[in-house]
C-alpha cells in the first residue's frame, strides 16, 4: 500500500505543480495583454479559473495525504491513549463519509448531469462536466489517503 500511495503522491504533486505553472502563466499573460498590449485575452481568464479549481481540489487531496491540511486539533492535542485514537478514528470516518458521499457521489452526479446536458464554457467551449470532474477525482484520492490512515497505525 505504501508504494501505491507513493505513486499517487508523485502523480498528484506533478499534476498540481504543472497546473500551477500554467495557471500563473495564464494570469501573467492576462495582465500583460491587458495593461501592455491594451487587448485583454479572454481565453486565459476562463482557463485560469478552471485551472484554479483543479489545483485547489487536487491540492486539497494531496495536502490531506501529507497530513498538512488545516485542522483544529486543540481537542485532539489534549487527549492521549485510547481517547485520542478513538477521536482520530471518528475524524477519519467523517472524512471518508464526506469524500465518498459529497465529493465522489455528489460530484460524480454533477459531472454526469453536466456532461449529459452538454453545457459548454462560454469562451473555450469546453464541456463543463470535464471541469467538474475534478470533484470526484479529488474525492477518490482523499478516500485512498483516508483508507491508508485507517490501515496504518498512528504515530505520535
- Rounded distance between C-alpha atoms, residue 102 and residue 106, angstroms: 5
- Rounded distance between C-alpha atoms, residue 72 and residue 51, angstroms: 28
Query: Total domain count for the chain?
Result: 1
pLDDT, residue 77, reads 85
- Rounded distance between C-alpha atoms, residue 107 and residue 135, angstroms: 5
Within a domain: residue 156?
no
Kindly give the parts of the chain with pLDDT less than 50. none
Domain that holds residue 144: 2-151
The three-state secondary structure class of 120 is: strand
Q: What is the pLDDT of residues 42-80, one digit of tens each?
A: 899 999 999 999 999 999 999 999 988 888 788 888 888
pLDDT, residue 155, reads 60
pLDDT, residue 89, reads 92
Contact 124, 74 (CB under 8 A): no
Amino acid at each position: 500500500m505504501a508504494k501505491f500511495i507513493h505513486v499517487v503522491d508523485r502523480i498528484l504533486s506533478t499534476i498540481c505543480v504543472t497546473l500551477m505553472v500554467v495557471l500563473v502563466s495564464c494570469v501573467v499573460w492576462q495582465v500583460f495583454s491587458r495593461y501592455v498590449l491594451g487587448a485583454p485575452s479572454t481565453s486565459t481568464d476562463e482557463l485560469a479559473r478552471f485551472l484554479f479549481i483543479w489545483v485547489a481540489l487536487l491540492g486539497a487531496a494531496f495536502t490531506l495525504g501529507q497530513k498538512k491540511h488545516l485542522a483544529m486539533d486543540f481537542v485532539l492535542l489534549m487527549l492521549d491513549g485510547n481517547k485520542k485514537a478513538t477521536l482520530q478514528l471518528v475524524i477519519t470516518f467523517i472524512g471518508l463519509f464526506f469524500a465518498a458521499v459529497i465529493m465522489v457521489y455528489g460530484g460524480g452526479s454533477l459531472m454526469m448531469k453536466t456532461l449529459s446536458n452538454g453545457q459548454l464554457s462560454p469562451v473555450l467551449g469546453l464541456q463543463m462536466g470535464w471541469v467538474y470532474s475534478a470533484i470526484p477525482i479529488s474525492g477518490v484520492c482523499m478516500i485512498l489517503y483516508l483508507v491508508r490512515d485507517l490501515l496504518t497505525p498512528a504515530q505520535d
